[in-house]
Structure 1
Amino acid sequence: MLAYNHGKGSLENWLITETEFSPDALGKCESIMYLGNGYMGLRSATEEPYLHEVRNLFVNGTFNRFGGDEVTELPNLADVTRIDLRIDGERFSLEFGETKHYLRQLNLKTAELTRSFDWISPKGKTFRFRFRRFVSLDRLHLIGMKMEITSLDSPAEITFHSGINGRMTNSGTQHFHEGEKRIFDKRYLQLLQRTTESNIDVVINAAHRVTVNGEEIRDPVMAIDRRMVGLTFRLQLSPGDKLVMEKLATVYTSRDKEFDKPDYQLAKLREVSLQDLKDCVKKGYDALFQSHCRAWEEKVWNKYNLNVDSEDGFDVLALRFALYHLTVMTPAHDERMGIGAKGLSGEGYKGHSFWDTEIFILPFFIFSNPEVARSLLNYRYLGLAGARKKARENGYEGAMYPWEAAWPEDGEVTPVWGAVDIVTGEQTKIWSGFIEQHISADIAFAVYQYYTVTGDREFMERYGYEMVFETAKFWASRLEWNEEKREYHINDVIGPDEYKEHVNNNAFTNYMAHFNIQLAITYYEKLEKENPRRLAELEERLALRKAYEKWKSVIGRIYLPQPREDLVIPQDDTYLSLKTIDLTKYKQSKKVGTLFQDYNLEQVNKMQVSKQADVLILLYLLEQWEKKFSQDVLKANFRYYEPKTLHDSSLSLSTHAILANDIGEYELAYSLFRRAAEIDLGPFPHSSDHGIHAASIGGIWQAAVAGFAGLRLSGGKLRISPRLPKHWRRMEFSIYWKGQPVTVSIDHSALIVKAERNEPFELEVCGKTYTCKDQLTIHIDPKN
C-alpha cells in the first residue's frame, strides 16, 4: 500500500512510502522507486530475494542482440543488491515471522531508497532492520548500499552472503559470456562480463565494510562460482548489538565515452574501475551520499525551480516525481543514447526509444535544460544512417526513422511479433515498425521546437537542417498520387491511434508530413538568404535543389482532412463510418487493454474506438507551428473523440488534460492530470510491473506547464495563458527562452515574468502581445 503523507516539515510532499509489504505485488515499488542517474538505472528490488522479484541493472547504450530471432535490447547486468541473510541458521524473509512498523520510502529530494521495520523471527527474537541505497548523481559509476541490523532482545547468529551475481537474464535471455572473477585483499570483488553479440565489456566491482558496534569484521569466507563472486560473513549479536554493512559498487563498460576509442584496452578499464571503487571506499557511504545530495540540489531542484502551492499535496509530489524520473532516465552524459519508453526501470520495450521522447519528454528539456535537449536531438542525428537505410530498404528517399530505436546505428529494432490473438490463438504481428511512420515528422517537429525556443543556430547548421531536409525527402517520396482527386495521399499507415492499422490518410500523419515538408522549404529559403555557404555544402551531399523543387511542387497538393459540417476532422478515411459500441465498462476499467479480453485487433480496427489521442494531439502540435484551428473546432473534436478514447496508452491522458483546459473544461482537465499522475503513483498494484511510463511522466510536466500555466509556442512566439486549477494557489517555474533564464510566477490574480538577464523579449499573454524587459507583471481577471 502506497502513502504520500509521511513527509513532515522539510520533507513534506517529498516521500513516496510503501506501508505494507506484499510478496505478490513487488513490481510496483521496484519500478516507481527505481534509482538512477541517466548512466545507469537500478530497479529497487529488496535485498532479500522473493519469488516474483525482478532485479534489473541497466547501463544506457549497452544494447545486445541475443540471437537472430530476437531484437536488440538493454541487457540486464550482474546484480549487486541481493543479500542472502540467515538468522540462527534460518533464511530471513518477511514472509515468515511478524513484521511491525514497515516503511519503504523513496526520498525524491535526496534520491535515496530506505526501508525499515522491526521483525520478530519464528523463534520469537526481535530485530530492527534499516536498509539504505542510492545511485550517485555526483559519481555516475557508483552504487551505494547500507544495511543495519540491531538485536533488540536476544542473542543470535547472523550469517549473510553478498557479492556480484552474474546469473541475471532478461526474462530468460542471457546476454553475457562467462567472464573472469577476482577477489583482492579479501575485500574488493570484481566480475567481468562481455555481451554476446555487441562485444561490450562490463566491469563491476564491489567492496564491503562490516562492523559490529563500530568494530570492523575482517575475515569473511570468499566464494567464486559460475557467474558469481561473493563474501560470506558470520557473526554473533548480543542484545543491543548493532551490525552495520556498507557496500559500494562501481560499474564501467567499454561503451563509456572515455573508453570507446580505437586504443581501448580491457586491462585499463579494469584498473580505472577498481581504483574508483577504492577511492570511494576511503570516503564511505555517508560522505558519498552527501555529495550525491548536493548534486541533486544543484543540478535538479534549484535549476528547475518548479513549485506549486496546492491544497492537495499530491499535486506537488506528482510534479516532483516527474522531475525525479526525468532526471534518472535521461542520458545527459552521452549524446549517443536516447530515452527508453520505460526509462531504465524495467525490461518493458527493451530499452528502445519511441516518439515518446520527442513529443512528450523533450519539451521539458527544451524549455528547462536546453543542453540536455540538444544531446537528445544529437542522438537522432546520429541515427540518420539507420533512418536512411530503412528508407532505402522500403523504396523511399531521405531518412525514414525507425519506430523503435536503440544504438543509433542499429536502425529499426521493433519486434515483429507480439501478444496472442484472443480469437485465433496466434501471435499478433506488430505492424508499427513497418507502417507507423509519423515519427520522422515528429523528430522534425522537435528540431523546430528546439530551434524556435533556443535560437541555437550552431546546432541547426551542424545537425538540425540536415535532419529536417532528409525527413522531408522521405515524405515527398512517400506521397501517393490520387489521379481521381488530383491530390497526394498517404495510404496504409498507423497513426498515433494504434487501434487503427492499415488506414489511409490518417489526419495526424498527413498534416505532420505536410508540416515537415513546409518546414524544409522554410529552412531552405532561410539558408539561401542567410547562409548560402552552408546550403551549398549540404547541396553537395544531399542534392537539395532537386529536393526543394519537389517539395514546392507537392506541398499544395497534399490531402489534409478538413473539419466537416459538425467541425469534426476525420481521423482517417474510414474512422467516422465505423460502428460504435458501448465503451462504458472499458472506460471505467482500472486496467488498460481490457477491450482485448472481448475482441481481437482485427475487430477493434472496425470500431470507433481509439487507444490514445490522435486528431487531438495533432491540434495541440499544429498550434505551435503556424496552423491554428478555431476554438469551436477544438471543442468539437475533443467532445467527439475523447468519449471514444480508452487512454490505453499512458501518454494519452496528459494531452487530453492540456486540451480540456484550453476549451474551458477545467475540472475535467484537472481530473485527467490527476489520472495521468496516478498511472505510476496510483493504487493499482501492477500498473508499473514492467517499468515506469516515461512519456506519461513527461506529460505530467506538460499538463502542468503547457496546460495549467498555458506556456507553449504559438506561431513561433512564446505564449503564456494561465488557467490554474482552483485549488492551486500559486505556481512558479524557470525556463529558458533564446538562451535567457526566465522565471514565471502565477496566481489567480497576476502573472509575473522575470527576464533574469534583462534581455527584452516578446510574449503573448491571453491574446495580447507584451515586451518583457526585466520584470513584467500582468493582472489576470479571475473570472476570465
Structure 2
Amino acid sequence: MMNYSQGKGELKNWVVSEVEFSPDTLGKSESIMYLGNGYMGLRSTTEEPYIKDKRNLLISGTFNRAEENEVTELPNLADVTRFDIRIDGERFSLEFGETKNYQRQLNLKTAELTRYFDWTSPRGKELRFHFRRFVSLDNLHLIGMKMMVESLTDPVRISLDSGIDAQMSNSGSQHFLEGERRIFDKQFIQLVQTTNESKIDVVINTTHKITVNDEERIKVPEMNMDRRKVWLTYDFSLQPTDKLEIEKITTVFTSRDKEFEKAEYTIQQLRDHSLQDLQDSSGKGYDTLFQSHLETWQNKIWEAYNFEINSDDDFDQLALRFSLYHLTIMTPAHDDRMGIAAKALSGEGYKGHSFWDTELFILPFFIYSNPKVAKSLLTYRYHGLVGARKKARENGYLGAMYPWEVAWPTDGEVTPVWGDIDIVTGNQTKIWSGFIEQHITADIAFAVYQYYNVTADQGFMDHYGYEIIFDTATFWASRLEWNEKKQKYHINDVIGPDEYKEHVDNNAFTNYMAYFNMKLAIRYYEKLTMENPMCLKELTKKLNLDKAYQHWQDKAGKIYLPEPREEDLVIPQDDTYLLLKEIDLAKYKNQEKVRGIYRDYNSEQINKLQVTKQADTLILFYLLEQTFLNDDERISEAVKRANFNYYEPKTLHDSSLSLATHAIVANDIGDIDLAYSLFKKSSEIDLGPLMNTSDDGVHAASIGGIWKSAIFGFAGIRLVDGRLRINPRIPKHWHHMKFTIHWQAQPVTISITKSTLSVKVENKESITFEVFGEIHECDDFIEIPFGLTE
C-alpha cells in the first residue's frame, strides 16, 4: 500500500512510501522508486529475493539482440543488490515470522531508497533492519548500498551471501556471453560480461566494508564462484543490542562509454580503470559518497529548477517533484548518442526503445528547463538520420523517415512485428506501428522548431537542425499520393496517434504535421538563402536541396488538410472516423485498468467504432498554435473548443500519453476544473493507489506530462510563433506557483498567484512576452495583475 504523507518537516511532500509489504505486489514500488542517473537505472527490488521480484540493472545505449528472431533491447545486467541472508541458519524472508513498522521509502530530494522494519523470527528472536541505497548523480558509474541489522533480544547468528550475479535475463532471453570472474585480495570482486551480438563489454566491480558496533571488522570471507556468478559469504554472531553494518559499493563501466570508444581500446583497460574507480570510491565510504551525490542533486536539479506549488492538496507538490526526479534519472544527459526509453530505465517494458514520447512529452521540459540536455536529445535524433534514411530507402521513399521505435541511433526500425493476443482468433496481433505510424517524422521536425525558437541556438541549427528539417520534408514530399479526383495530395494507409485506428487515410494529425514540416523547410531554405548562403550551399551538396525545394513548393500547398465541418466545426480525425458506429463508452471511460475494451473487441472490431485510444486531433491545436500557422482559422479557439467537446468523450485515455494533452487543452478553453481532474489522473498513472499499474516500468511520457500540464496548462507558458506567451489559469485550490524556465539563453523565474504574474529576468537581458493579449517588456522584474479571480 502506498502512502505519500510520511515526509515530515523539511521533507514534507518529498517522500514516496510503501507502508505495507506484499510479496504479490512488488512491481509498483520496484518501478516508481527506481534509482538512476541517466547512465544507469537500478530497479528498487528488495535485498532479499522473492519469487515475483524483477531485478533489473539497465545501462543506457547498451543495446543487443539476443536472438535472430528478436529485436534489439537494453540487456539486463548482472544483479548486485541481492543479499542472501540467513538467520540462525534459516533463510530470511518477510514471508515468515512477524513484521512490524514496515516502511520502504524513496526520498525524492536526496534520491535515496530506504527500507526499515522490525522483524521477529519464527524462533521468536527480534531484529531491526535498516537498508539504504543510492545511484550516484555525482559519479555516474557508482551504486552505494548499506545494510544495518540490530539484535534486539537474543544472541543470533547471521550469515550473508553478497556479490555479483550474472544469472539474469530479459524475460528469459540471455544477452551475455559467459565472462571472467575474479576476486582480488579476498575483497574486490570483478565480473566481466560481453553482449553476444553487439559485443559490448561490461565490467562490474563490488566490495564490502563490515562494522560491528561502529568498529570496522576485517572479516576473511568464504570465496565462492559459480556459472555467471561470484560472491563472498560472511558469518557473524551478534549479542543483544549489537549492531552489524555492511556497506557495499559497486561500479559499472562499459565499452560503450565515450571514454572507451576509441581504436586502441582493450578490455584490460576497462577492467583496470573500473577497478581503480571502485578502490578510490570504497575508500571514501557510503556516507561521503552519498553526501557528494546529495550536493549534486541539490545544485544541479532542485535549485536549478526551483519549482514550488502552494496547493491545498499536498499531493500536487509531490507529483511535480516526482516528475522532476524521474525526468532527471531517465535521461542520458551524458551522451548524445542515446535517447530516453518509454519505460525510462525502470524495467524491461518496450525494450528500452525510444518513441515520439520523447519529442512531444519529455523534451519540452528540457527545452524550457535545461537546454543543454535538450540539445543532446535532439543530437541523438541527428545521429539517427542514418537509420531514418535507411528506413526511407527500404520503404521506397526519399529523405529521412524516422523509425517508430529506435534503439542505437543507426539501427533503423526496431519495432517488434508481433504483439498481444487477438481475443477473437487466438492469434498474435501484428504491430503495424513500425510500418505505418509515420507522424513521428514530423513530430521530430516540430521538436527542432520548438527548441530553436525557445533557445535561439543558431549553432545547433547550422550543424544539425536544418538537415533534420530538410530531409524529413523530402520524405513527406516523396510519401504524398496524388488523388486525381480531388486534385489533392493524400497520405493513405497510416496510423495516427490514435492507435485504435489502423490503415486509415488522411489522418488529420499526420496530414497537418506533414504540411507543417514541408512549409517549415521552405521557410528555412529561404531564410538561409538570405542569411547564410554558405550553410545552404553545403547542405545543398549533401541533400540535393535545389530539387527538393522545388518539390516542397509544388506539393505543400496541395496537401489535403481535413477542414472543420460547417455544422459543428469538428475536424474529421480521418476519412472514415465520423462515419463509424457509435457505442456507449461509459464502461470503458470509467475502467480501473486500461485497454478494457480489448476484453470485448479485437483490433479489427475496434477499428470500426468511434472510439479513440488517446489524444489525436486535439494535439494539433496544442502544437500548431506554437508555430507560424497559429493564425490559421482551421485551428482557431472556436474550432479547438468544438473538437475538444467532440473527441474527449470518445477518448478512453488508454495510453499514458493522452491525459496531459487533454488537461492542457481543457485549460486553454477555460475548463480549469476538468483540466485539474485530468492533471490529477495523469499524476496517478504511476502514483495512484492501484498496485499493478507500473509492473513493467514507469510511464516516462506521462511523467513528462505532469510537468507539461502544470507549465503549459495552469501557468499558461507557450511558444507562439517565436514569442513567449504567459496566460495563467491556476486551479482553485492552488494559491501560488513558482518555477524557473529558460528563454533564449537566460533563466526566467515566474511566480503566479490567483491574480498576479511576476517575472524576474535573472541575467537582466530584456525579454518581450505576451500576457492575455498585452505585450510586456522586462529586463529585471515586473509584476502584472491579470484579473482572473475565483
Fold-level similarity (TM above 0.5) = yes
Other structure's SS at 2:259 match: coil
Matched, 1:631 2:637: yes
The equivalent position to 2:651 in structure 1, one of 618, 622, 645, is: 645
Match of 1:570 in 2: 572
**Over residues 537-562 of structure 1, what are the superposed CA-to-partner deviations in whole Å (9 max), with x where a residue is unaligned?**
11111100110011011111100011
Other structure's SS at 2:319 match: helix
Give, in whole Å, the separation in 2 of the partners of 1:159 and 1:667.
56
Give, in whole Å, the separation in 2 of the partners of 1:297 and 1:598.
49
Matched, 1:116 2:116: yes
Matched, 1:43 2:57: no
The equivalent position to 2:590 in structure 1, one of 585, 588, 591, is: 588
Match of 1:750 in 2: 756
Q: Is the 8 A contact 2:667 2:714 kept in 1?
A: yes
Match of 1:328 in 2: 329
What letter corresponds to residue 100 of structure 1 in structure 2?
Answer: K
Other structure's SS at 2:769 match: strand
Match of 2:152 in 1: 152
Match of 1:255 in 2: 256
Match of 2:318 in 1: 317
The equivalent position to 1:664 in structure 2, one of 666, 670, 673, is: 670
Q: Aligned Cα RMSD in Å?
A: 0.7
Other structure's SS at 2:557 match: helix
Question: CA shift at 1:759, angstroms?
Answer: 1.1
Give, in whole Å, the separation in 2 of the partners of 1:666 and 1:455.
32
Match of 1:60 in 2: 60
The equivalent position to 2:722 in structure 1, one of 693, 716, 721, is: 716
Other structure's SS at 1:316 match: helix
Question: CA shift at 1:627, angstroms?
Answer: 2.6
**Over residues 635-684 of structure 1, what are the superposed CA-to-partner deviations in whole Å (9 max), with x where a residue is unaligned?**
11111101110000001001100111111111111000000000000001
Give, in whole Å, the separation in 1 of the partners of 2:584 and 2:512.
30
Question: CA shift at 1:623, angstroms?
Answer: 0.7
Question: CA shift at 1:770, angstroms?
Answer: 1.3
Match of 2:267 in 1: 266
Q: Is the 8 A contact 2:588 2:597 kept in 1?
A: yes
What letter corresponds to residue 229 of structure 1 in structure 2?
Answer: V
Give, in whole Å, the separation in 2 of the partners of 1:695 and 1:416.
23
Give, in whole Å, the separation in 2 of the partners of 1:13 and 1:281.
33
What letter corresponds to residue 538 of structure 1 in structure 2?
Answer: L
Other structure's SS at 1:258 match: helix
Match of 1:386 in 2: 387
Match of 1:605 in 2: 607
What letter corresponds to residue 620 of structure 1 in structure 2?
Answer: Y
Other structure's SS at 2:452 match: helix
Matched, 1:224 2:225: yes
Match of 2:357 in 1: 356
Other structure's SS at 2:474 match: helix
Match of 2:92 in 1: 92
What letter corresponds to residue 78 of structure 2 in structure 1?
Answer: A
Give, in whole Å, the separation in 2 of the partners of 1:577 and 1:39.
48
Give, in whole Å, the separation in 2 of the partners of 1:82 and 1:22.
18
Give, in whole Å, the separation in 2 of the partners of 1:215 and 1:318.
41
Match of 1:139 in 2: 139
How do 1:367-382 residues align onto structure 2 when only pairs under 5 Å count? Answer: 367-382=368-383
What letter corresponds to residue 531 of structure 1 in structure 2?
Answer: N
Question: CA shift at 1:278, angstroms?
Answer: 0.3
Give, in whole Å, the separation in 1 of the partners of 2:182 and 2:175.
21
Question: CA shift at 1:783, angstroms?
Answer: 3.7
Matched, 1:678 2:680: no
Match of 2:167 in 1: 167
**Over residues 12-52 of structure 1, what are the superposed CA-to-partner deviations in whole Å (9 max), with x where a residue is unaligned?**
00000000000000000000000000000000000000000
TM-score by length of 1: 1.00
Match of 2:531 in 1: 530
**Over residues 597-627 of structure 1, what are the superposed CA-to-partner deviations in whole Å (9 max), with x where a residue is unaligned?**
0100000000000110000011110111123
Match of 2:32 in 1: 32
Matched, 1:726 2:719: no
Give, in whole Å, the separation in 2 of the partners of 1:761 and 1:152.
63
Match of 1:212 in 2: 212
Other structure's SS at 1:80 match: coil
Give, in whole Å, the separation in 1 of the partners of 2:67 and 2:478.
34
Match of 1:558 in 2: 559
Give, in whole Å, the separation in 1 of the partners of 2:181 and 2:400.
45
Matched, 1:462 2:463: yes
The worse-fitting range, judged by mean Cα deviation, of 17-26 and 763-772 is 763-772
Match of 1:276 in 2: 277
**Over residues 576-607 of structure 1, what are the superposed CA-to-partner deviations in whole Å (9 max), with x where a residue is unaligned?**
00001111111111100110001000000000
**Over residues 104-144 of structure 1, what are the superposed CA-to-partner deviations in whole Å (9 max), with x where a residue is unaligned?**
00000000000000000111110000000000000000000
The equivalent position to 1:772 in structure 2, one of 770, 778, 788, is: 778
**Over residues 391-415 of structure 1, what are the superposed CA-to-partner deviations in whole Å (9 max), with x where a residue is unaligned?**
0110000000000000011010000
Other structure's SS at 1:776 match: strand
Give, in whole Å, the separation in 1 of the partners of 2:262 and 2:238.
51
TM-score by length of 2: 0.99
Give, in whole Å, the separation in 2 of the partners of 1:29 and 1:738.
39
Give, in whole Å, the separation in 1 of the partners of 2:404 and 2:788.
44
Match of 1:549 in 2: 550
What letter corresponds to residue 689 of structure 2 in structure 1?
Answer: P
Match of 1:762 in 2: 768
Other structure's SS at 2:258 match: coil
Q: Is the 8 A contact 2:754 2:789 kept in 1?
A: no
Question: CA shift at 1:782, angstroms?
Answer: 2.4
Other structure's SS at 1:239 match: coil
What letter corresponds to residue 587 of structure 2 in structure 1?
Answer: K
Question: CA shift at 1:749, angstroms?
Answer: 1.6
Question: CA shift at 1:217, angstroms?
Answer: 3.9
The worse-fitting range, judged by mean Cα deviation, of 75-84 and 774-783 is 774-783
Other structure's SS at 1:462 match: helix
The equivalent position to 2:693 in structure 1, one of 687, 707, 719, is: 687
How do 1:413-428 residues align onto structure 2 when only pairs under 5 Å count? Answer: 413-428=414-429
What letter corresponds to residue 121 of structure 2 in structure 1?
Answer: S
How do 1:394-413 residues align onto structure 2 when only pairs under 5 Å count? Answer: 394-413=395-414
Match of 1:237 in 2: 238
Match of 1:290 in 2: 291
Give, in whole Å, the separation in 2 of the partners of 1:467 and 1:394.
19
What letter corresponds to residue 563 of structure 2 in structure 1?
Answer: Q
- Count of aligned positions: 784
What letter corresponds to residue 24 of structure 1 in structure 2?
Answer: D
Give, in whole Å, the separation in 2 of the partners of 1:773 and 1:305.
20
Give, in whole Å, the separation in 1 of the partners of 2:332 and 2:216.
40
What letter corresponds to residue 319 of structure 1 in structure 2?
Answer: L
What letter corresponds to residue 437 of structure 2 in structure 1?
Answer: E
Match of 1:200 in 2: 200
**Over residues 732-772 of structure 1, what are the superposed CA-to-partner deviations in whole Å (9 max), with x where a residue is unaligned?**
11111110111111101210111111111211111111112
Match of 1:451 in 2: 452
Runs of 4+ with >3 A deviation: none
Give, in whole Å, the separation in 2 of the partners of 1:716 and 1:455.
9
5+ unaligned residues in a row in structure 1: which ranges? none
